[in-house]
Structure 1
Amino acid sequence: MASLYELTIPVLTRVLRTEESLLKKAEEHAKTTGTPVEELVAARLAPDMFSLSKQVGVTVLFARIVSHLLAGKELPPTQIGEWSLEENYSFIAGALELLAEIKPEDLNGRESEIISFNYVNGKYSSYFNTTLKLRASNANNFADVTRFLVPSVYFHLTTLYDILRHKGVPLGKANYLEHLVADWEFS
């Protein structure tokens, strides 16, 4: 069975690198078509859905939660905002740095601990109003990691991809999978 570290840190790293790559494709598209990049960053699929920027924000937030709470560290306040393209790049880079600092021994062995984080009053995000209590594992099957964390980050990555496709950015499945299968060998 994969370890808690293997189920979190590499997954989040690949998702964030994919988001960064997709944003670069969006930036290239904006330059070639004359589309304001701000229009792409603020785009959403439906009026009540998060913007592209907030899709990035949620995955950055989850990376911060895993890198801090699961590793037993204090979670600094994190906001999910309407960030510029440059801010999106910066927040992704910061999250990748945090993830790179986490070692397997920081997470492995903490599977049965319950982590709790509160979104109320904008402390971590003004878009949620609940306290989440998660256990990394449930009967040694990493239930909350595999049923909540991983599906959530892939949901937001997929939504970011879909927003860009909807706005005409020429992306294909290979762009989505580029970092997710980077360690695979093809023959």
Structure 2
Amino acid sequence: MSLSMYQASVPVLLHALKNLSAILDKAVLHAEKQQFAAEVLLQARLAPDMFPFIRQVQVVSDTAKGCGARLAGVEIPSFADSETSFAELQQRLAKTVSFLQGLQPAQFDGSDSREIVLKFPHQTMTFSGQDYLQYFVLPNFYFHLTTAYDILRHNGVPLGKGDYLGGGG
């Protein structure tokens, strides 16, 4: 039996989103133990030209929901990018998870060859559904997820590989 587009996307994204949620909890606990406001971490970044932590998490969410919606052929839910706290980031992740969980595997049938067009201010990118998932979604999703992890780790949050990978599937 071959791997379906649903299996190659939604469970993978859900697993990583669950791990990211747990990582956010660890950041808040760390801040409490060290007696500083966790919100200072929201604007932390690895380099001046990189997005801050809060935007990294928003992009992880956007990439996941965009993937699910485009491959399922439904409208992408719009989130305002107005989060200002870890609690609000957790709510955003929960909304993303809820959206993905509401998608049915049958909605992904044939999405491997569906044309996916992404329009950016200075370019338009066109993919087959399979190429979109493999060469755009997954690399971007994991880039921003890893960067969010790295920002927290760099700022002393006690995270390890197990936090990133999580347990089981």
Is the pair's TM-score, using the shorter chain for normalization, greater than 0.5? yes
Give the alignment's TM-score, normalised by structure 1: 0.82
Aligned partner of 2:124: which letter?
Answer: T
Aligned partner of 1:48: which letter?
Answer: D
**Does structure 1 residue 147 correspond to structure 2 residue 135?**
yes
Displacement of 1:58 after TM fit?
A: 0.8
Give the alignment's TM-score, normalised by structure 2: 0.90
Displacement of 1:34 after TM fit?
A: 1.1
Displacement of 1:118 after TM fit?
A: 3.2
Residue in 1 that maps onto 2:160: 172
Residue in 1 that maps onto 2:145: 157
Alignment of structure 1 residues 14-163 onto 2, 5 Å: 14-80=15-81, 83-120=84-121, 130-137=123-130, 143-163=131-151
SS of the residue corresponding to residue 2 of structure 1 reads coil
Residue in 1 that maps onto 2:168: 182
Structure with higher helix content:
2
Displacement of 1:36 after TM fit?
A: 1.4
Task: Compare 72-81 and 60-69 and name the one that shifted more.
Answer: 72-81
Cα deviation code 1:53-111 (max 9, x no counterpart): 11111111112212222211122444445642121111100000001011111112221
SS of the residue corresponding to residue 125 of structure 2 reads strand
SS of the residue corresponding to residue 48 of structure 2 reads coil
Identity %: 37
Contact 1:54 1:82 in 2 (8 A): no
> What number of residue pairs does the alignment pair up?
168
**Could you say if the C-alpha distance between residues 81 and 131 of structure 1 is closer, same or farther in structure 2, counting changes exceeding 3 Å?**
farther
Task: Compare 74-83 and 30-39 and name the one that shifted more.
Answer: 74-83
Asked which structure has the greater RCO (Cα within 8 Å, sep 6+), the reply is 2
Mapped to 2, the partners of 1:24 and 1:18 lie a distance apart of: 10
Mapped to 2, the partners of 1:136 and 1:78 lie a distance apart of: 23
Aligned partner of 1:50: which letter?
Answer: F
Mapped to 2, the partners of 1:59 and 1:134 lie a distance apart of: 20
Displacement of 1:116 after TM fit?
A: 2.1
Contact 2:67 2:133 in 1 (8 A): no
SS of the residue corresponding to residue 42 of structure 2 reads helix
Aligned partner of 1:145: which letter?
Answer: L
Contact 1:112 1:136 in 2 (8 A): yes
Displacement of 1:39 after TM fit?
A: 0.9
Mapped to 1, the partners of 2:82 and 2:142 lie a distance apart of: 19
